[in-house]
């Protein structure tokens, strides 16, 4: 392993840093070997920080500057195919620009890790937090995990390589957080000692990935044409199959992380006071994390409410949701910070959650919610209000009468002329 | 899983009977001419004039199919079994030593 310049003694340190810097530190501590960089607000300081690390010889990586996000991901295909640990970061329009290459990466089963500082999709031009960018590519075969805190952003990068590079998984991995709300705010982040991190996350195999390695000594052809009668369908099945089987690897890695570093990330979901809850909000991201405050406020008044936070949306936490449905919850609000135009609810995740309801023995009432688009703030008071609306649905079967109820979903804060 | 030949002269192709036998991705070892003798596709054939040729090797570098055989100091030769007649060598030759001759109507 390359010797890196040690600026501090090899011990744990706590540094106040932005969410973006937490991502860059995660990549540095994971000893990534190829970084491909292109700037876009609000992720730019991730790749800028990494260029500093490389310049100061604190990270021994090949830093590639390209002319577009499509080339970013294309260059990482090349880098990853030689067995290197690869990394990049992007947002919004940049993620959409690299979409074709996202498929190339996952279909080649390359364990690339990318962090996303999510921003609104244009037009209208909007650089603030919402997740439509990542949600619109949710089916391309990448594992998708939301990080709700700065510490979680850093820790997730370490775990992501361990999961992605597992021989039974071999899938690329997104870590997603909110543009500006998380990317540009600062919090203390505990950085473990590099030797502890190296113990948790070994380097990639010297011979390259077992299934695909570009080696001039042993040339191969990859991505061969397959006729309809040949195994195209079967190769595509393998991707879905590995994604489903990755759930075990994810849970095991989280458990190992807890043993090594002491921080517990639950699993595919995090349940907050859901045990005896009758009204639960199901959501993801830091905005979901915030609703814990709404839960606490209402619990103090004796209301049985809870937050069910999705950490992963790919693979989808099917079993965890079915367990929630069978737990006695009476009404769920599913809040999306992103859109899926024309789908049953207008929200990508709410429709997917609702698709599981038929498997439950219980009859549960549902309120799909769309909130926070384009970085519009959602306050704790508004979240308390949503819980109260859910309780009214449960008790009186009274759905919200607001004009912001459109096509069966509550578009929180929709300007209705009142 | 069983191995068969696609044609009597072609390379061995593995035929899988179960998804469980598949490798992670479609990867194969390189083999020459696995799609057949692509020289058949040609309409124009490149011919090198040894007198004009300055043995620079530029045609060899530019040939997209790697059918130009070049040894330093010699006039290159062309493998017509696989040359598709694209004409790039002729365009790139600095000495205009390569002419594209029509082979068929």
Q: How many residues does chain B have?
A: 105
Q: Which residues of B touch A107 (CB under 8 A)?
A: 25
* Strands, sheet with A365-370, edge to edge from the N-terminal-most edge strand: A269-272, A305-310, A279-283, A331-336, A365-370, A409-411, A405-406
What pLDDT was estimated at residue B21?
Answer: 94
Task: Compute φ and ψ for B82, nearest 5 degrees.
Answer: -120, -10
**Residue A227 above 90 pLDDT?**
no
Q: Which is nearest to A332 in space by CA: A288, A368, A299, A290? A: A368
**Which structure tokens are listed for A307?**
């937050």
Q: Which residues of B touch A237 (CB under 8 A)?
A: 19
Give the pLDDT confidence of A9-54 residue by residue, as tens digits: 589 999 999 999 999 999 999 999 999 999 999 999 999 999 999 9
Kindly report the nearest CA distance between residue A23 and chain B, in angstroms: 30
Asked if the Cβ–Cβ distance from B29 to A231 is below 8 Å, we say: no
**Residue A366 above 70 pLDDT?**
yes
Using pLDDT thresholds of 50, 70 and 90, give the confidence band for residue A8.
Answer: very low
Residue B19: which of A212, A221, A234 has the nearest Cβ? A234
Domain B35-102 fold is Alpha-Beta Plaits (3.30.70)
Question: What pTM was computed for the model?
Answer: 0.90
Optimal mutation site among A216, A234, A237, A246, interface B, most CBs of chain B within 10 A? A234
CA A334-A335-A340 angle, to 5 degrees, is 100
Domain boundaries in chain A?
13-261, 269-411
Separation of CA A164 from chain center: 13
**Residue B13 above 80 pLDDT?**
no
Kindly report the nearest CA distance between residue B1 and chain A, in angstroms: 12
**Residue B34 above 90 pLDDT?**
no
Asked if the Cβ–Cβ distance from B25 to A109 is below 8 Å, we say: yes
Optimal mutation site among B25, B30, B31, B32, interface A, most CBs of chain A within 10 A? B25
Residue A271's contacts (CB-CB under 8 Å, 6 or more residues apart) are A306, A307, A308, A309, A324
What pLDDT was estimated at residue B5?
Answer: 54
Stretch B50-67: mean pLDDT, rounded? Answer: 96
Strand locations in A143-262 (E): 143-146, 173-178, 186-191, 221-222
Stretch A127-145: mean pLDDT, rounded? Answer: 98
Stretch A178-189: mean pLDDT, rounded? Answer: 98
Better-scored residue on pLDDT, B36 or A16:
A16
Stretch B7-28: mean pLDDT, rounded? Answer: 79
Q: What is the DSSP letter of A357?
A: G
Better-scored residue on pLDDT, A193 or A5:
A193
Q: CATH number of the domain at A13-261, please?
A: 3.40.50.970
**Residue A357 above 60 pLDDT?**
yes
Q: CATH number of the domain at A269-411, please?
A: 3.40.50.920
What pLDDT was estimated at residue B83?
Answer: 97
Using pLDDT thresholds of 50, 70 and 90, give the confidence band for residue A254.
Answer: very high
Using pLDDT thresholds of 50, 70 and 90, give the confidence band for residue B35.
Answer: confident
Stretch A60-75: mean pLDDT, rounded? Answer: 98
Stretch A301-307: mean pLDDT, rounded? Answer: 98
Stretch A61-72: mean pLDDT, rounded? Answer: 98
CB A47 within 8 A of CB A76: no
Using pLDDT thresholds of 50, 70 and 90, give the confidence band for residue A294.
Answer: very high
Q: Which chain B residue is nearest to residue A169, measuring alpha carbons? A: B24
**Residue B98 above 50 pLDDT?**
yes
Stretch A155-178: mean pLDDT, rounded? Answer: 98
Cα–Cα distance, A162 to A198 (Å, whole number): 11
Q: Which residues of A touch B23 (CB under 8 A)?
A: 211
**Residue A170 above 50 pLDDT?**
yes
**Residue B7 above 60 pLDDT?**
no
* Mean pLDDT of chain A, nearest integer: 96
**Which structure tokens are listed for A42?**
């609000």
Cα–Cα distance, B77 to B82 (Å, whole number): 13
Using pLDDT thresholds of 50, 70 and 90, give the confidence band for residue A359.
Answer: very high
Asked if the Cβ–Cβ distance from B19 to A238 is below 8 Å, we say: yes
Q: Which chain B residue is nearest to residue A231, measuring alpha carbons? A: B16
**Residue B10 above 70 pLDDT?**
no
Kindly report the nearest CA distance between residue B10 and chain A, in angstroms: 16
Query: Which residues does B contribute to its contact with A (CB < 8 Å)?
Result: 16, 19, 22-30
> Same topology for domains A13-261 and A269-411, yes or no?
yes
Give the pLDDT confidence of A190-216 residue by residue, as tens digits: 999 999 999 999 999 999 999 999 998
What is the ipTM, given to two decimal places?
Answer: 0.84
Using pLDDT thresholds of 50, 70 and 90, give the confidence band for residue A169.
Answer: very high
**Residue B1 above 80 pLDDT?**
no
Stretch A2-12: mean pLDDT, rounded? Answer: 62
CB A96 within 8 A of CB A133: yes
Q: What is the DSSP letter of A327?
A: T
Domain boundaries in chain B?
35-102
**Residue A179 above 80 pLDDT?**
yes
Q: What percent of chain A stands above pLDDT 70? A: 98
């Amino acid at each position: 392993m390359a010797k890196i310049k040690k600026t501090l003694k090899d011990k744990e340190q706590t540094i106040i840093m932005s969410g973006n810097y937490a991502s860059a530190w995660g990549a540095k501590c994971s000893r990534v070997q190829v970084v491909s960089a292109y700037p876009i607000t609000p992720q730019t300081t991730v790749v800028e920080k990494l260029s500093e690390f490389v310049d100061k010889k604190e990270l021994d990586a090949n830093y590639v500057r390209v002319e577009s996000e499509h080339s970013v991901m294309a260059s990482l295909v090349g880098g990853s195919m030689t067995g290197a640990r690869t990394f990049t970061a992007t947002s919004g329009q940049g993620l959409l620009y690299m979409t074709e290459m996202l498929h190339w990466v996952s279909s080649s089963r390359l364990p690339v890790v990318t962090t996303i500082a999510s921003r609104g999709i244009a037009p209208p031009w909007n650089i603030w937090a919402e997740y439509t960018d990542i949600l619109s590519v949710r089916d391309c075969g990448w594992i998708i995990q939301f990080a709700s805190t700065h510490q979680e952003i850093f820790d997730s990068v370490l775990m992501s390589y361990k999961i992605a590079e597992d021989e039974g998984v071999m899938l690329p991995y997104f870590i997603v957080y909110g543009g500006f709300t998380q990317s540009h705010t600062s919090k203390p982040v505990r950085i473990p000692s590099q030797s502890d991190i190296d113990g948790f996350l070994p380097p990639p195999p010297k011979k390259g990935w077992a299934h695909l390695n570009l080696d001039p000594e042993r040339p191969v052809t990859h991505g061969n044409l397959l006729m309809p009668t040949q195994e195209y369908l079967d190769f595509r099945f393998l991707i879905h199959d590995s994604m489903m089987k990755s759930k075990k690897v994810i849970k095991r890695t989280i458990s190992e992380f807890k043993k090594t570093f002491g921080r517990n990330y639950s699993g595919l979901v995090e349940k907050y006071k859901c045990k005896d809850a009758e009204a639960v909000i199901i959501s993801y991201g830091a905005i979901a994390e915030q609703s814990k405050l709404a839960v606490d406020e209402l619990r103090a008044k004796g209301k049985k409410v809870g937050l069910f936070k999705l950490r992963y949306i790919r693979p989808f936490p099917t079993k965890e949701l079915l367990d929630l449905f069978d737990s006695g919850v009476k009404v769920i609000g599913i809040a999306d910070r992103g859109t899926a135009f024309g789908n049953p609810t207008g929200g990508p995740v709410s429709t997917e959650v609702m698709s599981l309801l038929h498997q439950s023995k219980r009859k549960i009432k549902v309120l799909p919610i769309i909130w926070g688009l384009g970085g519009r703030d959602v306050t704790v008071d508004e979240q308390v209000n949503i819980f109260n609306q859910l309780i009214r649905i449960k008790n009186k079967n009274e759905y919200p009468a607001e004009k912001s109820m459109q096509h069966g979903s509550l578009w929180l804060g929709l300007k209705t002329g009142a | 899983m069983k191995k068969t030949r696609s044609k009597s002269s072609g390379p061995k192709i593995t035929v899988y009977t179960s998804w469980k036998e598949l490798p992670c991705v479609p990867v194969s070892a390189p083999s020459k001419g696995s799609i057949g003798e692509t020289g058949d596709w040609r309409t124009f054939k490149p011919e090198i004039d040894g007198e004009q040729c300055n043995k620079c090797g530029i045609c060899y570098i530019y040939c997209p199919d790697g059918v130009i055989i070049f040894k330093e100091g010699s006039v290159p030769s062309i493998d017509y079994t696989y040359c598709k007649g694209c004409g790039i060598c002729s365009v790139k030759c600095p000495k205009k030593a390569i002419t594209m001759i029509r082979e068929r109507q």
